[in-house]
Amino acid sequence: MEFFTDLILLLDSTLRTATPLVLAGLAGLIAERSGIVDIGLEGKMLAAAFAAAAAAAVTGSPWAGLGAGIGASVALALLHGWVSIAQRGNQIVSGMAINIAVAGLAPTLANFWFRKGGQTPLLDDEARFSAITLPFADALADVPLLGGLYSELLSGHNLITYLTAAIVPLVAWMLYKTRFGLRLRAVGENPEAVDTAGISVTLLRYQAMIITGVLCGFAGTVLSTGLGGGFIRDMSAGKGYLALAAMIFGRWKPVPTLLACLLFGFVDALQGRLQGVDLPLIGEIPVQFTIMLPYVLTVVILAGFAGRMQAPKASGIPYEKDH
Amino acid sequence: MKKLFGRFGAIVGLAFAGFAAVGAADFKPVLLYDIGGKFDKSFNEAAYVGAHRFEEETGNGFKDFEPNSETQYEQALKRFARRKADLIVAVGVGYSVAVRNVAADFPNVKFTVIDAIIDLPNVQSITFKENEGSFLVGMIAAMKTESRTIGFLGGMDIPLIRRFERGYRQGAEYVRGDLTFIENYVGTTPSAWNDPIKAAEMARSQYARGADIIFSAAGPSGLGSIQAAKDTGNLAIGVDSNQNHVAPGVVLTSMLKRVDLAVYKAMKAAQDGHWSAGHNVMGLAEGGVDFALDEHNAALITAEMKAKLDDARAKIVAGEIVVGDVEGSNVGH
């Protein structure tokens, strides 16, 4: 029974940890499917986290925060788009530049506006996307097994986590079942063909960058106003890069990307749980080792189990009309 | 051409002479912060508060510098040392190597370094007995807990933070022997100080496993732990500066590290001429560490608890209780 309770706690933590990863992973997926490599996910998330926390602190509304977060992220996505599409610049350099610029700019602005050493004020509960208790969760809590599953695991997450559960099928549907999705996939594989068919490569790629920006905006907003209660410098803590790894592990497909993010989230929760615990036979595992686990797993998975990776063919290559 | 150089040299010379004259006229100490910014509501801000107090009381201003990366430590130290600053106060164990290098090159400049120990004739090292302050907050946690389970959340896993944990455990066990401890470290790299999401997740896990009070020694990450306490209806203990106001009623107390006092005392002593090199340790007896009691947590700490804490404090100061320490806490890398 204790094992079951532990498992539910781990899975519960997995859902929370995976939320920003899934959103950022899908953002990267849309960008790469359209032919633009975006390692600036981290920077966009951080910018969104800062903008959301700042707006929510000033207005007291998480919705204003979400709006500001998405706004900031889309602006950066369009900047990356402009460099990659119009200027045919190096996409890795542009993405990296965004990451570095935001890492410095966000705490500087926070210090300028709030005078708290690069942090925003801690948000009140009304200014955050607080935990939502699903109907009957309290009443069902005592029902064996199912009660725990429902009231602990499924209930008590923030709005954006629930939204994410809807966004994954939505992105999958858009990518595989709509005309826009078909064109998006085509432009990442063979932009010449799309161009020949009379469809604008430039417009499609800008549209993809806007979607990427919106998704990263959600990811950043959930960090500072859902899971946390304010902005702290570098709070994205490498999640943008981890999302990129999850996307590659998920072979640029929405559902496998979701599963990869859940796996990363689970291992992260597990490593926290294993710290300082006496395991039978092995004894206590040193902290340094448990903290290593998620990264070791990433390397093992990418090297061993993922098989041949097939990135979209035109990914990272600027499109030039006159070859 | 030669003439031009001559004139240029003269101007530069004049400028330096002017600078030296200003420097000699009044006492001007320099304060170098650690990475994180001046107003970080924690360590650096405490240093600033101390220097500010010195400025207000003596009318002497001070210069300060906020580095953006570790590579700027040595550069900044050298710059101020070359200008013959009257006293250079460097805050944080990260400065160890930089101060050691620069102080050896400028034997006539006085350096005070906080949190690190450097054995040079012109360096004053100030360290704190964080374990003694942690002992007291450990006692508070043990007296307050209802689930007989208390948690500890460290930032980066380094000996200095293990020292907090050691004192906390010993203090809790001093009150009662039937406690269960849960401890976590956010990470093993400096990014562990700035990961409130992970800290919150670890705190939630500890609360779910039965802990009702968590002491976090994790810098800004600790805010995540306070947030988790607020969300789950449990208690948290803050660190370094007084964090009771962050979430009144949720923060049980804070383990204070009086960096402000250390900075103020060093600057005052240097001005009055009785600054001396060597190693100063600030523990409970010297007022260097303490627990925070103010209007935000007055309702949480009863008179009976207060009496027990005062008793233990007296015993630690008198040497009747010896709080265990961790080797290598003030060694830089």
Quote the pLDDT of residue B16.
45
Quote the pLDDT of residue B23.
41
Within a domain: residue B193?
yes
Q: Is B38 close to A117, i.e. CB distance below 8 A?
A: yes
Quote the pLDDT of residue A152.
78
What residues pair up with A109 in beta bridges, in sequence order? Answer: none
Q: Are residues B169 and B83 both part of a single domain?
A: no
Residue A227 in contact with partner chain B when CB distance is under 8 A: yes
Quote the pLDDT of residue B14.
44
Q: Are residues B134 and B246 both part of a single domain?
A: yes
Quote the pLDDT of residue B332.
62
Q: Is A118 close to B231, i.e. CB distance below 8 A?
A: no
- A83-97, A255-269, B34-48, B284-298: the lowest-pLDDT one: B34-48
Within a domain: residue B220?
yes
d(CA B89, CA A61): 42
Q: Are residues B95 and B178 both part of a single domain?
A: no
**How many domains does one find in chain B?**
2
Task: Give the residue numbers spanning the domain of B72.
Answer: 2-128+260-282
Q: Distance from B201 to chain A by nearest Cα, in Å?
A: 7
Average pLDDT of chain A is 89
**pLDDT > 90 fraction of chain A, expressed in percent and rounded:** 59
- Domain with residue A93: its CATH number is 1.10.3470
Q: Are residues B116 and B160 both part of a single domain?
A: no
Residue A107 in contact with partner chain B when CB distance is under 8 A: yes
Within a domain: residue B290?
no
Q: State the burial class of residue B273 (Cβ atoms within 10 Å of its Cβ: 0-12, 13-18, 19+).
A: exposed
Residue A314's pLDDT band (boundaries 50, 70, 90)? Answer: confident
Task: Give the residue numbers spanning the domain of A294.
Answer: 2-305
Residue A32 in contact with partner chain B when CB distance is under 8 A: no
Give tens-digit pLDDT for A227-245: 988 998 889 988 999 999 8
d(CA A227, CA B147): 26
Nearest to A233 among B38, B157, B194 (CB): B194
Within a domain: residue A313?
no
Q: Distance from A138 to chain B by nearest Cα, in Å?
A: 15
Chosen from A122, A236, A273, A289 to mutate, greatest number of chain B CBs within 10 A: A122
Residue A310's pLDDT band (boundaries 50, 70, 90)? Answer: confident
Quote the pLDDT of residue A1.
57
Q: Distance from A76 to chain B by nearest Cα, in Å?
A: 23
In this prediction, the residues of chain B whose per-residue pLDDT falls under 70 are 1-25, 332-333
Mean pLDDT of the A215-220 span: 97
- A287-291, A315-319, B24-28, B126-130: the lowest-pLDDT one: B24-28
Quote the pLDDT of residue B27.
86
d(CA A141, CA A146): 8
Interface of B with A (CB under 8 A): 36-42, 44-45, 68, 157, 182-185, 187-188, 191, 194-198, 200-202, 204-205, 208-209, 220-221, 223-224, 226-227, 230-231, 246-247
pTM of the model: 0.85
Q: Are residues B266 and B234 both part of a single domain?
A: no
Quote the pLDDT of residue A307.
65
Nearest to A232 among B68, B223, B246 (CB): B223
d(CA B36, CA B29): 21
Within a domain: residue A320?
no
Q: Distance from A251 to chain B by nearest Cα, in Å?
A: 27
Q: Are residues B32 and B80 both part of a single domain?
A: yes
Within a domain: residue A301?
yes
Angstrom distances, CA of residue A270 to CA of A26, B153, B187: 24, 16, 14
- DSSP for A191-210? HHHHHHTT--HHHHHHHHHH
**How many domains does one find in chain A?**
1
User: In angstroms, what is the C-alpha Rg of chain A?
Assistant: 21
Mean pLDDT of the A98-107 span: 94
Q: Are residues B138 and B79 both part of a single domain?
A: no
Going by the DSSP 8-state scheme, the letter that residue A157 receives in this structure is B
Size of interface A-B (CB pairs under 8 A): 103
Q: Is A288 close to B157, i.e. CB distance below 8 A?
A: yes
Residue A305's pLDDT band (boundaries 50, 70, 90)? Answer: low
Within a domain: residue A323?
no
Q: Are residues B93 and B19 both part of a single domain?
A: yes
Helix ranges (H only) for chain B are 2-25, 43-58, 72-82, 96-105, 130-144, 159-175, 196-208, 222-232, 259-272, 303-318
Residue A154's pLDDT band (boundaries 50, 70, 90)? Answer: confident
Within a domain: residue B236?
yes
Within a domain: residue B288?
no
Q: Which residue of B has its CA nearest to A276?
A: B183
The long-range contacts involving A62-69, CB below 8 angstroms and separated by at least 24 positions, are: A62/A127, A62/A128, A62/A129, A62/A225, A65/A127, A65/A221, A65/A224, A65/A225, A66/A129, A66/A217, A66/A218, A66/A221, A66/A225, A69/A217, A69/A218, A69/A220, A69/A221, A69/A224, A69/A225
Within a domain: residue B323?
no
Q: Are residues B65 and B179 both part of a single domain?
A: no
- A140-149, A210-219, B27-36: the lowest-pLDDT one: A140-149
Q: Is B246 close to A122, i.e. CB distance below 8 A?
A: yes
Q: Are residues B142 and B26 both part of a single domain?
A: no
Within a domain: residue A242?
yes
- Domain with residue B48: its CATH number is 3.40.50.2300
Within a domain: residue A318?
no
Task: Enter the ipTM.
Answer: 0.87
